[in-house]
Amino acid sequence: MLETGTQAPTFELETQDGESVSLSSFDGQRVVLYFYPRADTPGCTREAKSFRDHLAEFAEYDVAVVGVSDDPVADLASFDEKYDLGFTLLSDPDGSVGAAYDSYGERTIGDREMEITHRNTYVIGPDGEIERSYEGVSPDEHPEDVLADLADLAE
């Protein structure tokens, strides 16, 4: 995991709408950058819907929620539309951004080794520094944990 206080790696990826977004698109705003393995799978869907259900609370802190996976743009568009997520999803098809955030690599699933996005989250401050990191999070109730930390950061 990247350490608190370090500069967040820059990136430029496509959204579920096919638009290009970079980390600098959020300059001056806090960002919750969460990495998840696969769109429209049970755990990833629970996590995304939980972030969706708390968007108003994130907005109170002026925080942008951004999800990243190695899914293609078309899959992200379907995922967003199916669950009316309402936040930015980014396609990292080669896992390079995930790797820069220590959130992509080999994992054994069943009896197979695969390259996959790992379920990690970062809170990136308005100045581009990592303020909080969460490794191997559970998809259930994770947004509530992040919101509690945002309350501490806001003090």
- Name the region of 150 (left: φ>0; alpha: ψ -120 to 50; beta: rest): alpha
pLDDT of residue 154: 84
> What are 90-117's pLDDT values in tens digits?
999 999 999 999 999 887 767 888 888 9
Q: What is the pTM of this model?
A: 0.95
Catalytic residue among 8, 44, 85, 123: 44
> For the chain, what percent of residues have pLDDT higher than 90?
86
Residue 155 has pLDDT above 80, yes or no: no
The verdict on whether 149 is a catalytic residue reads: no
Residue 136 has pLDDT above 90, yes or no: no
> What are 31-52's pLDDT values in tens digits?
999 999 999 999 999 999 999 9
Cβ-based burial of 42 (10 A; exposed 0-12, middle 13-18, buried ≥19):
exposed
- Domains, the chain, with CATH or none: 12-140 (3.40.30.10)
Provide the b/e sequence for 86-103 (b: ≥16 CB within 10 Å). ebbbbbbeebebbbebbb
